[in-house]
């Protein structure tokens, strides 16, 4: 598996063929989108919606969108945040980790998390945080199995949804 930054055109758009691949990954995760409410209709996610969602993320200079590929196929996407808006929070964050639903339970998610953690370690970071929606027990089980521990419960900053905040030291 390789991890690469999202390439953009000179106009800061996502290249058309890549946007089609990304949209397919988003569509495959209907269950998550039904829980999150990130899209008006989780049964009708369109490329322009995915492009707008990623453009909103990339408007923050501390955000990086990473793509995971295996055997040339887009297997997942990760959105990271180098610095949280709260100055008391020293850790980088994983804002989203999504693996193509057709490839889940095959180790792609674990490998992807490992690569992201390695990137943070290489940058001298000592821990990483993320938030899991309270209504998503599968995600909570995934992250805790990887050694992440719940350190807080609070609404997310964007939409006020109830979340568990998890943290993992990067020893």
Range of the domain at 23: 2-169
Distance of CA 115 to the CA centre of its chain: 13
Angle between helices 16-28 and 47-58 (to 10 degrees): 100
pTM over 0.85: yes
pLDDT band with cut points at 50, 70 and 90 for residue 18: very high
Those residues whose C-beta lies under 8 Å from the C-beta of residue 83, and which sit 6 or more positions away, are 62, 92
pLDDT band with cut points at 50, 70 and 90 for residue 157: confident
**Domains: count for the chain:** 1
Has residue 78 got a pLDDT over 90? yes
Q: Report the C-alpha gap between 133 and 154 in whole angstroms.
A: 10
pLDDT band with cut points at 50, 70 and 90 for residue 16: very high
Has residue 171 got a pLDDT over 90? no
Percent of the chain whose predicted confidence (pLDDT) is above 70: 100
Q: What is the pLDDT of residues 79-132, one digit of tens each?
A: 999 988 888 889 999 999 999 999 888 889 999 999 999 999 999 999 999 999
- The helix/strand/coil state of 96 is strand
CATH value at residue 98: 3.40.630.30
């Amino acid at each position: 598996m390789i991890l690469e930054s999202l390439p953009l055109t000179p106009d800061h758009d996502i290249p058309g063929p890549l946007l089609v691949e990304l949209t397919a990954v988003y569509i495959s995760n209907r269950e998550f989108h039904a829980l999150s409410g990130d899209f008006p209709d989780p049964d009708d996610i369109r490329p322009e919606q995915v492009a707008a969602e990623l453009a909103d993320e990339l408007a923050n200079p501390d955000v990086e969108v990473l793509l995971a590929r295996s055997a040339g196929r887009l297997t997942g996407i990760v959105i990271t945040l180098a610095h949280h808006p709260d100055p008391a929070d020293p850790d980088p964050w994983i804002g989203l980790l999504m693996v193509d639903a057709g490839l889940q339970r095959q180790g792609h998610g674990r490998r992807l998390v490992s690569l992201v953690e390695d990137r943070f370690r290489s940058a001298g970071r000592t821990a990483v945080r993320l938030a899991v929606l309270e209504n998503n027990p599968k995600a909570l089980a995934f992250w805790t199995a990887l050694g992440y521990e719940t350190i807080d419960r609070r609404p997310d900053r964007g939409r006020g949804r109830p979340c568990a905040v998890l943290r993992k030291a990067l020893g």
